[in-house]
Amino acid sequence: MTKLIYRFFLLVSLLYQTSLQAHEFWIAPVTEPLVAGSQVGLSLLVGEYFAGDLVGFSAPQTASLGRYTAAGRQDLSSFLSSTQVAVLQLPLQSAGTHLVVFDSQPNAITLSADSFHAYLHDEGLDFIKTKREAAGTKAEPGRERYRRYVKTLLQVAKPAGASSKSNADSKKPDMTHATVVGQRLELVPLQNPLSLSPGASLGVKVLFESKPLAGALLKAWHKRSGQTVMVRAITGVDGIVKFDLPYAGPWMISVVHMVPVTGVPDIDWDSFWGSLTFVVPPGGKL
């Protein structure tokens, strides 16, 4: 490997690590119509206020990548390589709802005490600040290991002229959107947002280690006329919140959870970042 190529890959790696230190992390919601037999390009983004920079997909930074449809789960790890790909091209073999799920490898970061506490407050994690105060460590840097748990929903139409299913099959609802995939921190929509009308209510359940997570702060993000709309809600004891989504177009739901770590050098906290992206269609159906 020449020095120039080595420096290029080193720079890409450093940019990846630096970008992961920003806030939300998501798969860009796909707004164009999708048809079975074609393909879709997926992009990972990282940033704040539902505006982000491309990160890219790569095998070293991926713990798991899969797709769920009515037919079951497909492992997508074979689409990854050791180098980063800005846009991941996936074939769309079947019509219906597709759920793409990405889990990242862990990364570490150390923040100053002030920065760490400000971030905890922004993400509804003030109970961690309380723990630090009780332990007498509130003035120490926040040493954190974080992981990303990402989902996006896609609606794929049948090709023009394709034959219809039998009456029995057509009456069976496609519940792919509500699939519980087993992410350590998981967002599960209780309705299919791809079939909602603007202004409809969407229930979202948060699971941590397969159990409902109470008291978690969820944020619903939308970009409209160059401005960011953000709606906040707190989960109940059942781990559920409801959002009224007033506008058609791309949305992201995000959540963060944190737990203490013991016995790991230079790490005091594990954080888990979840996101779900989708598009609410103008007429209530894609």
pLDDT tens sequence across 134-172? 999 999 999 999 999 999 999 999 998 776 554 445 567
Query: Which pLDDT score, from 0 to 100, does residue 23 have?
Result: 83
pLDDT in tens, 11-60: 333 334 434 444 899 999 999 999 999 999 999 999 999 999 999 999 99
Cα(10)–Cα(217) distance, integer angstroms: 36
Q: Rounded to a whole number, what is the distance in angstroms from the first to the last CA of the chain?
A: 48
CA within 13 Å, CB half, 50: 22
Cα(274)–Cα(150) distance, integer angstroms: 6
Cα(2)–Cα(100) distance, integer angstroms: 37
What percent of the chain has pLDDT above 90? 83
Query: Which pLDDT score, from 0 to 100, does residue 172 have?
Result: 79
Query: Could you state, in order of their start, the residue ranges of all structural domains in the chain?
Result: 3-280
Helix then strand then coil, % of the chain, to nearest 5: 15, 45, 40
Q: What tokens were used for 120?
A: 């905890």
Mean pLDDT value across residues 199-219: 97
- The structure's pTM equals 0.89
DSSP 105: P
Residue 275 has pLDDT above 90, yes or no: yes
Query: Which pLDDT score, from 0 to 100, does residue 44 have?
Result: 97
Q: Are 9 and 83 in contact (CB under 8 A)?
A: yes
